[in-house]
Amino acid sequence: MLTSDHLELLLAVVEHGSFSAAARALRRTQSAVSMAVANLEAELDLTLFDRSRREPVPSAELLAMLPDAKLIASRLQGLRLHLQELSGGLESHLRLGIVCDVDSQPALIALQTLEQRYPGLDIELRTAPQDSLIDALKKRELDLCIAYGGLELESVGIVQSLWTETISAVAAPGHPLLQDSPRPLEDLKAYRQIVISSPGLDTSKDRSMLSLRQWKTDSLPLTLELVERGLGWANLPLSCLGPALEAGRLRRIQFSTGSNGLDLPIYLLQSKGQEAGKAQALFRQALYDELNTRIQATPAR
């Protein structure tokens, strides 16, 4: 039967070009390597090396199996490393939630760092409205969550403050709220608001719900589409509005009673009392490093 030891042996002979060199690399005797190869050939009923020359040359049969052999050997090595990490305290998986209208790019870059360090780690990435993810965090269905600051965070743990997001009221160019600008802030109540919220949630006490009429979605792309079609206005983060504003598909509403922009903190959250493992710790550090890089790259005003 072909084993992982056989694969390591064959690949060593191919890589180093001789039985003696492979033996040195594997810290075995040359006779042990030669005998192991000969026994494998007899078991498989295949000639794996042409021995008619000074040094063994891989046969056509061995060359045909080399790509699969290298792939299997690589995966076995990755599995060994992952098992070592698990025995050293690495979590078996990481469940991360990102609120659907929060900029996900810093988190995705941090996940790349995490994958490079722990390639065998399973990642569950969930994006949804904030209320849904906070509820999942409270139920310990998530390990970490990137979300806006708010009163509902009192029952979860704040790991670190990340950045500040500016929320702005926007509408399509032909929307009535953009006519006769600037408009009183109270005018927002008279026009339909497109709201990102979980289905069935009571939003009557949510201070961001300004309009008396609302359409709800649980998707940022769908919300943008509805607003661009003139079906309502929405409070959305500027980090997600760049292309639509630059192309003129959306415009910020101008108010006569104040500026159009609310700064909200973005936090990394976890369930209260939960201990962070190696994966969580590395993700937090990678996220911090990425945000610090962005700050350093921002020109001073």
Q: What is the pLDDT of residue 236?
A: 94
Q: How many helices (H) and strands (E) does the chain have?
A: 9, 11
Burial (CB count within 10 angstroms: exposed 0-12, middle 13-18, buried 19+), residue 15: exposed
> Model-level pTM?
0.69
Q: What is the pLDDT of residue 144?
A: 92
Q: What is the pLDDT of residue 85?
A: 61
Strand partners, 93: 122
Q: In this structure, how many other beta carbons lie within 10 angstroms of the beta carbon of residue 174?
A: 9
Low-confidence ranges of the chain (pLDDT < 70): 77-89, 151-152, 154-155, 200-208, 273, 297-301
Mean pLDDT of the chain: 85
Establish whether domains 4-87 and 93-301 are of one fold: no
Structure-block tokens of residue 295 = 């700050």
Q: What is the pLDDT of residue 289?
A: 92
**What is the largest distance, in Å, between two alpha-carbon atoms of the chain?**
92
Q: How many Å separate Cα 256 from the centre of its chain? A: 41
Determine the Cα–Cα distance for residues 159 and 270; give it in Å rounded to an integer: 7
**Domain 93-301 sits in CATH 3.40.190.290:** yes
Q: What is the pLDDT of residue 193?
A: 94
Determine the Cα–Cα distance for residues 278 and 143; give it in Å rounded to an integer: 12
Q: What is the pLDDT of residue 128?
A: 92
Determine the Cα–Cα distance for residues 112 and 108; give it in Å rounded to an integer: 6
E strand or H helix at 56: none
DSSP single-letter state for residue 83: H
> Which residue ranges make up each domain of the chain?
4-87, 93-301
Determine the Cα–Cα distance for residues 234 and 195; give it in Å rounded to an integer: 7
Tens-place pLDDT, residues 169-197: 999 999 999 998 898 888 999 999 999 98
Q: What is the pLDDT of residue 79?
A: 67
Tens-place pLDDT, residues 191-226: 999 999 887 666 555 556 778 888 999 999 999 999
Q: What is the pLDDT of residue 210?
A: 79
Q: What is the pLDDT of residue 300?
A: 53
Q: What is the pLDDT of residue 280?
A: 87
CATH of region 4-87, choose from 3.30.429.10, 3.40.50.720, 3.40.630.30, 1.10.10.10? 1.10.10.10
Alpha carbon separation from 15 to 127, 205, 254 (Å, rounded): 46, 68, 69
